[in-house]
Amino acid sequence: MVDSAKGTAICPGTYDPVTLGHVDIIKRAAAVFDQVVVGVVNQPVRKQKTVFSAEERVRFIEAEIQDCANVQVKAFDTLLVDFAREHGATAIVKGLRAISDFEYEFEMNQLNRKMAPDIESIYMFSSPQYTFLSSSGVKELAMFGGDLSGLVPERVASRLEEALRRRD
Residue 117: C-alpha distances to residues 14, 78, 92, 152 (Å): 24, 18, 12, 34
Angle at which helices 154-167 and 135-143 cross, to 10°: 60
Q: Are 78 and 45 in contact (CB under 8 A)?
A: no
Tell me the pLDDT tens digit for each residue of 5-42.
589 999 999 999 999 999 999 999 999 999 999 999 99
- Specify the CATH number of the domain 8-167: 3.40.50.620
Domain-by-domain residue ranges, the chain? 8-167
Closest CA to 91 of 6, 9, 4: 9
According to the model, what pLDDT value does residue 117 have? 96
Contact 150/17 with Cβ under 8 angstroms?
Answer: no
pLDDT at position 166 is 58
Task: Write down the pTM of the prediction.
Answer: 0.91
- Burial call 131-154: b when 16+ CB within 10 Å, e when fewer: eebbbeebbebbeeeeebeebbbe
pLDDT band at 3 (very low <50, low <70, confident <90, very high): low
Q: What average pLDDT does the segment 125-149 reach?
A: 93
Portion of the chain with pLDDT greater than 90, in percent = 81
pLDDT of the residue at 77: 94
21, 27, 33, 37 alpha-carbon torsion, rounded to 10°: 80
pLDDT greater than 70 at residue 54? yes
In whole numbers, what is the pLDDT of the chain averaged over residues? 92
Of residues 28 and 104, more confidently modeled: 28
